[in-house]
Each structure stands twice: as C-alpha cells, then as structure tokens.
Amino acid sequence: MRQIAIVGSGPAGYYTAEAALKQWGEGVSVDMFDTLPVPFGLIRTGVAPDHQSIKGVSRRYEATALTENVRFVGNVMIGRDISVTELQDFYDAVILATGAPNDRKLGLPGEDLSNVFGSAAFVGWYNGHPNFADLDPRFSHDTAVVIGNGNVALDVTRILAKAHEEFTGSDIVTHALTALDASRVRRIVVLGRRGPHQIAMTPKELGELAHLARARPLVDPVDLPGESEDAVLDPGQRKSVAHLRAFAAAEPRADREIVIEFDFFASPKAIIGDQRVEAVEIERTRLVDGKAVGTGETYRIPAGLVVACIGYQTSKIPDVPFDEKGGRFANVDGRIRPGLYCVGWARRGPTGTIGTNRPDGFAVIEKVAEDMGDGTGKPGRPAFDALAGKRGIHYVKFTDWQKIDEAEIANARQGAPREKFVAVEHMIEAAGRG
Ligand SMILES: Cc1cc2nc3c(=O)[nH]c(=O)nc-3n(C[C@H](O)[C@H](O)[C@H](O)COP(=O)(O)OP(=O)(O)OC[C@H]3O[C@@H](n4cnc5c(N)ncnc54)[C@H](O)[C@@H]3O)c2cc1C
C-alpha cells in the first residue's frame, strides 16, 4: 500500500487524489488535509458566489472524496498542528496543494490605510472565508477603485455593482449582502497599467458587465487601438476586446445609476489618506515594447475603497524551500525534495483555470510513481491518527463536512443555495463535534 498525504483540498488536491486512484487503484491510501473543516479550497471561497454553475465542479470531487481509499482530514493546518517533516515520516509521498492564499502587495505608499484591501481578503469576505469574516469594508464613498485587469478584478467589480435582486441564486454570505445593500458606491474605476490589448479578462466574464441591472461599463474610445490591430490577438482576446469596443460605442443610459469606468494606461503610484483611503494617485503610462512606461503626467481619483486584484502568493510552510520571486514553493516540475512535492497554484503560481489543475495533478502523480516504485513502507494513517490523539488534534472527516453542508443548505435565506458558516467553531458545531 502506498501512503500519500495531500495537503490542501482545493481543485489541485482533488485532481491529484483522482490521479493517484487511477494510478494505483486499491493499492493507495490518500489522506487529504485542509486547514478548514470544509473542503474544496477556492471553489468555495474564491469562485464568485453568483457563478454557481462553476462551483458545481465540487460535485465531481465528491466522487473522489467518497472513495474508500481517500480520507478528508479537515481542520488540520500543516506547519502548525503537524510539521511537514513529521508528515514525511508517516507518508511515502507528501504533496503540497496549498494554493496561493496571500495577496501580493502593491508596494505603494498608503497601501496599509483603512479600506484598502487585497482581493484575497475582499473576495474571502463576501465568500465567507473564516479568516476574513471580520474585514468590515465600508461602502460610504461614491467611488471605489479596483486595481487590475484580470478576471478577479471583474468579479470584484461585478459584486460591487450588482443590485440586491441580482444575487438571487447566489451563495454570497448575508453579512456581505447586507453591507452591499447599503452601499453608496456609484462609480467603480478599474485601473489597468497597460491597454485593452493587454487585459487578462476572459470574454464571457467581461461580457457579463453589459447585462447588469443598474450599472454600465464605460470605455474611452481614445484608449482603443485601431480595429485592424486586433488581428494579432488570439480568438479569446479578440472577443474580449470586441466587448470593450461595444462598451465604448454604447449610448449612455440614464437608467443605469452605477458606472464602471475602465481607466487604461493608468499606473497607481500612491494611496492617499489620513488613516482611511481618500484618493488614489495615478500616473498615466504609454506602451513601450509591450511594457507600461510612466509619462510623468499624474492625477488623483478621490475614492473611499480600493481593492487590489494583482495576484497571490503561496503561504510559506516551515522547512519547505520557497521561491521568493515566484511566490510559490521552490520546485522542479513539482519535485521539492525526495518524498515532497507540490501541485496546483502552490507549484506554478496563481495562473490558469480550475481545469488547469487537472493535468497538473496527473503530472505530479507520474513523478511520485517514478520516484516511489512500490512504496517505501511508511505507516500512513494509523501513525497520523496516533499522533493526532496524543496531540489533541480533532480533525473533521468528509462525513462531518456533509453534516456542515446539510446545515448550510437548511440555513439558506430565500432564493439562496446555502448560508455558509463563517466561523470555524460554528462549522465544528454543525458537524456535531463541538
Ligand atoms: C477570486 C477567484 C476567482 C476564481 N474564479 C475562477 C473561475 O470562475 N473559474 C476558474 O476556472 N477558476 C477560477 N479561479 C481559479 C481557481 O480557483 C484556481 O485555479 C484553483 O482554486 C487553484 O487550486 P489549488 O488547489 O491550487 O488552490 P486552492 O483552491 O486555493 O486550494 C488550496 C487549499 O489548501 C488549503 N491549505 C492551505 N494551506 C494549508 C496548510 N498549511 N495546511 C492544510 N491546508 C492548507 C486551503 O485551505 C485550501 O483549501 C478563481 C480564483 C480566484 C482567486
């Protein structure tokens, strides 16, 4: 029996478990650890609450989770409750699938002012991640600035712009819905250092902005390159830019009380304010060889909320080599050191879609199979259980998560699929392990 520990129950963790089952069938035992008592990583706490069909992918992971040979071990933080070295003593292979949960810093003066957030925190707040339940963002100023030109910036913008009714069918947590209901934000400025041809927004997500009940997207036609230049783009980019062209050409609509302004060629230089953010100072840029270069022209946008959607970093774990520049574990094709591997965002950084993690999971299991052969005779589960008993680690199993899931569904407000617990102790209580 090969004994495998996977650390992290997000997409990368589950695809890796699926690959292990394909590789060894009955000949493998997988323990999948997670800090939280609930599985699925960013499917639960990152993917937008109004994109329920995407969140539906977790049902596929359930099939893996319910297999005899795979065990969910929730509410256990590796690096705090048990070290990686200890795990390596118990399991033939330890695979870190811990994602990239920390916001990259803007590196600007004023970024620590109140009401300036990174997207991990802000998205975690509206998606019910226990670490961010107390974030308490304020929506009392009429202008919010969203920094970044990727899909996370789009998610944040859409959530800020939607009316109450547009959250029907979503699982946005009630504390966020209540705060957004009282929001005075009427202008959302989306800053991109480069131009329309350089955005990382995908067409489906960008197109959604045109169908919001009370908001309209605005693009300055001056920022758009000549249409013939779109020929160099790949088909997806071309569709995204077509949306921007449509936004630029659309007639103003008096019935839209919120405006979403795309401010391209705009590089934030400082967040201004006394304790709380009051404005963002920006330098106009131009493109030189595809890079944004400052022009020296600056301006300020008065704003009361800033959300930076500029990328993420993996959390360090003691005794695991870290690639500071890449913001992820130091690895060569998923190998960190003998018996220790990484996969998903923890391996390659925060890029790609949910599906990108599947080949990653299969590739890392190929490496493990090459290195491990028939197994190294480690004790696996019983050894972990003995240590957990000694150390008073009360872990949560998949059947406990199913009880939490049931309770969340039962607690759902009208029209919502669930009301998430946002405190770990409430999750544990719902699992009947209080
Ligand atoms: C805001 C946002 C929206 C997104 N929307 C989409 C979308 O609509 N469509 C799409 O295709 N992709 C989307 N993505 C990308 C997608 O979520 C990622 O590709 C995917 O979640 C990465 O999987 P992962 O398993 O590497 O990391 P994660 O999903 O982050 O999972 C990591 C898991 O590890 C656990 N963990 C971390 N540290 C420890 C530790 N020390 N001990 C134990 N457990 C630990 C965490 O609790 C978490 O459960 C989105 C990403 C973000 C940030």
Closest by CA to 260, choosing from 369, 348, 192, 187, is: 187
pLDDT of 11 reads 98
CA distance 306 to 111: 9
Q: Which atom of ligand 1 is nearest to the CA of 44?
A: 29
* Same domain membership, residue 374 and residue 324: yes
Has residue 417 been placed in a domain? Answer: no
Identify the residue whose C-alpha is closest to ligand 1 atom 18. 354
Q: Do 137 and 257 fall into the same domain? A: yes
Atom 17, ligand 1: residue with shortest CA distance: 42
SS in 3 state form for 290-304? CEEEEEEEEEEEECC
Question: How far apart are the CA of 400 and the centre of ligand 1, in A?
Answer: 21
> Which pLDDT belongs to residue 433?
77
Nearest atom in ligand 1 to the alpha carbon of residue 11 is 25
CATH number for the domain spanning 349: value is 3.40.50.720
Q: 70 and 113 share a domain?
A: no
Predicted pLDDT at 57: 95
Would you state the pLDDT for residue 434? Answer: 65
In a domain, 265, yes or no: yes
Rounded to an integer, what distance in angstroms lies between the CA atom of residue 153 and that of residue 383?
44
Q: What residues in the chain have per-residue pLDDT under 50?
A: none
CA distance 98 to 8: 5
Query: What tokens appear for 326 in the block?
Result: 């890449």
87-140 pLDDT, tens per residue?
999 999 999 999 999 999 999 999 999 999 999 999 999 999 999 999 999 999
- CA separation, residue 206 to residues 198, 217, 249, 264, 284 (Å): 14, 10, 15, 15, 23
Pocket lining for ligand 1, CB < 6 angstroms: 7-13, 33-36, 41-42, 46-47, 51, 54, 77-79, 97-99, 101, 123, 152, 155, 315, 317, 344-346, 352-354, 357
CA of 328 to the centre of ligand 1 (A): 13
Domain boundary among 310, 341, 367: 310
C-alpha of residue 208 to centroid of ligand 1, in Å = 23
Domain stops at, among 379, 395, 411: 395
Q: Residue 257 contacts by C-beta under 8 Å, 6 or more apart in sequence?
A: 186, 214, 215
Task: Answer yes or no: are the C-beta atoms of 148 and 199 closer than 8 Å.
Answer: no
Whichever domain contains 272, its CATH number is 3.50.50.60
Are 165 and 231 members of one domain?
yes
Q: Which residue has the tokens 């048990």?
A: 82
258 and 148 belong to one structural domain: yes
User: CA–CA separation, 240 vs 210, rounded Å?
Assistant: 12
206 shares its domain with 144: yes
What pLDDT shows up at residue 254?
83
Ligand 1 atom closest to 119 (CA): 1
266 shares a domain with 126: yes
In a domain, 359, yes or no: yes
Q: What total number of domains does the chain contain?
A: 2
Q: What is the model's pLDDT at position 143?
A: 98
CA angle 20, 23, 24 (to 5 degrees): 85
419 in any annotated domain = no
Residue 18 counted as domain residue: yes
Question: For residue 172, how far is its CA from the centre of ligand 1 (angstroms)?
Answer: 17
Is 92 in the same domain as 29?
yes
Identify whether residues 153 and 302 lie together within a single domain.
yes
Identify whether 142 is part of a domain: yes
Classify residue 319: in a domain, yes or no. Answer: yes
Is the overall model pTM greater than 0.95, yes or no?
yes
Q: Are residues 156 and 261 in the same domain?
A: yes
* Dist. CA 277 → ligand 1 center (Å): 29
Tell me: do 282 and 389 sit in the same domain.
no
**Whether 199 and 50 share a structural domain:** no
Query: How far is Cα 381 from Cα 196, in angstroms, rounded to an integer?
Result: 52
Q: What is the pLDDT of residue 295?
A: 98
Domain membership flag for residue 414? no
Among the candidates 310, 338, 362, a domain finishes at 310
- How is residue 88 annotated by DSSP? H
Range of the domain at 146: 105-310
